[in-house]
Amino acid sequence: MLLLRNADIYAPAKLGRADILIAGGRIERVEPGIRISDSYCDAVDASPFIAVPGLIDGHVHVTGGGGEGGYATRTPEVMLSDAVRGGVTTVVGCLGTDGVTRSMAGLLAKARGLDEEGISTFIYTGHYAVPVRTLTGSIEQDLLFIDKVIGVGEVALSDHRSSQPTFDQFVRTAAEARRGGMLSGKAGIVNVHMGDGPRGLALIRRVLAETEIPITQFLPTHINRNPMLFDEGIAYAKSGGLVDFTTSTVPAFLDEGEVKCSAGLRRMLDGGVDISHITFTSDGQGSLPDFDAQGRLRRLEIGRVTSLFAEVRDAVRDEHVPLEIALQVVTSTPARILKLRGKGVVAAGADADIVLLDPGDLGICGTIAKGRWLMRDRQGLVKGTFE
């Protein structure tokens, strides 16, 4: 057992100071003054720290991504230590542009490997292309028969790399994901990659106008990609939709109009968007390609899972978003949207995924996943098998 004594807890709501008792990979009790003999547990003075839920990164290319510039531009797989340093205790793996040399079988295997190494993992079935390539032959069967599959994605729209799905193809994808989610008790959500194209969210809006599929069936990501898409995203979220910001970026993209996540969060809140409709994800290990007007690759960077909390921290420090609000976009909100039971909260009965923060600089000092220390006193204690 592990006992964190007198931590300043944001669950993500601010609870104040209390003890957290962990046993068997779960949180047993959260209350002040838990009395238990130190001989039965590892008791740690957590009074110098803020304790928050382990972070959920809902969009990570765990097997690598990229390839838009040829074979040499395929990005590497994520390593356990990357997640640990970033306070990420749960990842959702996905494929992107490349669904050929990066396969669904490989994605599932990598997710299971990370799970064995110490963090929790889930995956989306499919990649940019529609019809979706699955493991079992259908979206419904993947959701019903493969435990780690929780939805579909990332399906690309408004992008020159998209398979340019027709309206009927896109509707069928969403409908099958919805049925599979209902039958399996999973989210069955469609994670939609939004490109720079002028059509923006038009295809999703048409689905909502012409079918009975609810707006919450879709999670459009990269919504901060450019000013036009961001403004459209504000209106979409205010009408009940979900929107996801991508935290990985480079200065050149910001100079060209990409909206920095921390500033974008402030703008959406000021614009009347409910915080429960906003998530952050890192696009970790995904490529960050820069194309010219003719679709030719000019340069390529790589996404990092460590960018996830960095933007939450910037939202608090630079944009004055309260910590208990900013935390929701990487904890309780993705847990609710993706139906990740036991995740995203510090509460009795929840999974023992906890991050300890320095109250001064909001730096990550400790990471606990499944009740096990992965990082302590800012020092990593574990690495991936081949690190």
Q: What is the 3-state secondary structure (H, E, C) of 289-300?
A: EEECCCCCEEEE
% of the chain surpassing 70 pLDDT: 100
Distance of CA 128 to the CA centre of its chain: 18
pTM of the model: 0.95
Condensed to tens digits (0 to 9), the pLDDT of residues 68-118 reads 888 988 999 999 999 999 999 999 999 999 999 999 999 999 999 999 999
pLDDT over threshold 90, residue 300: no
Longest Cα pair distance anywhere in the chain, in angstroms? 68
Question: N- to C-terminal Cα distance for the chain?
Answer: 28
Give residues with Cβ within 8 angstroms of 168, minimum separation 6: none
Condensed to tens digits (0 to 9), the pLDDT of residues 260-285 reads 999 999 999 999 999 999 999 999 99
CB neighbourhood size of 377 (10 A): 9
Could you tell me the CA-to-CA distances from 29 to 36, 78, 90, 223, 315 in Å, in that order? 12, 33, 21, 38, 30
Condensed to tens digits (0 to 9), the pLDDT of residues 309-327 reads 999 999 999 999 999 999 9
Measured CA to CA, the distance from residue 112 to residue 48 in angstroms comes to: 35
The answer to whether 261 touches 320, Cβ cutoff 8 Å, is: no
pLDDT over threshold 80, residue 293: no
Average pLDDT, integer, range 345-362: 97
Q: Which of 13-27, 35-49, 214-228, 324-338 has the lowest mean pLDDT?
A: 35-49
Give the per-residue pLDDT at 251: 85
pLDDT over threshold 90, residue 357: yes
Measured CA to CA, the distance from residue 305 to residue 312 in angstroms comes to: 13
Backbone angles phi, psi at 267, to 5 degrees: -65, -40
Measured CA to CA, the distance from residue 245 to residue 240 in angstroms comes to: 16
pLDDT over threshold 90, residue 288: no
Backbone angles phi, psi at 27, to 5 degrees: -85, 120
pLDDT band at residue 252 using 50, 70 and 90 as cut-offs: confident
The C-alpha angle with vertex 144 and arms to 153 and 91, in degrees rounded to 5, equals 45
CB neighbourhood size of 38 (10 A): 8
Task: Report all structural domains of the chain as residue ranges with CATH numbers, in order of start.
Answer: 2-52+345-380 (2.30.40.10), 54-337 (3.20.20.140)
pLDDT band at residue 289 using 50, 70 and 90 as cut-offs: confident
Cβ burial, residue 213 (10 Å; 0-12/13-18/19+): middle
What the block records as the tokens of 335 is: 């847990």
Measured CA to CA, the distance from residue 179 to residue 185 in angstroms comes to: 10
How does the average pLDDT of the chain come out, rounded? Answer: 95
The number of helices, as runs of H, and strands, as runs of E, in the chain is 11, 19
Residues labelled as active-site residues? 283
Q: Burial code of 322-361, b = ≥16 C-beta within 10 A, e = fewer? A: ebbbbbbbbbbbbbbbbbbebbbbbbeebbbbbbbbeeee
Measured CA to CA, the distance from residue 149 to residue 138 in angstroms comes to: 12
3-state secondary structure of 84: helix
% of the chain surpassing 90 pLDDT: 89
Q: Work out whether strand 14-23 and strand 2-10 pair parallel, antiparallel, or are unpaired.
A: antiparallel
Helix residue ranges, H only, the chain: 80-85, 104-117, 139-145, 167-184, 202-210, 227-238, 251-255, 261-270, 307-317, 323-326, 332-337
pLDDT over threshold 80, residue 292: no
Nearest by Cα to 286 from 43, 77, 40 = 77
Give residues with Cβ within 8 angstroms of 250, minimum separation 6: 288, 301
Average pLDDT, integer, range 17-36: 95
Measured CA to CA, the distance from residue 69 to residue 62 in angstroms comes to: 19
pLDDT over threshold 90, residue 290: no
Condensed to tens digits (0 to 9), the pLDDT of residues 157-204 reads 999 989 999 999 999 999 999 999 999 999 999 999 999 999 999 999
Measured CA to CA, the distance from residue 174 to residue 152 in angstroms comes to: 8
pLDDT over threshold 90, residue 291: no
Strand partners, 289: 300
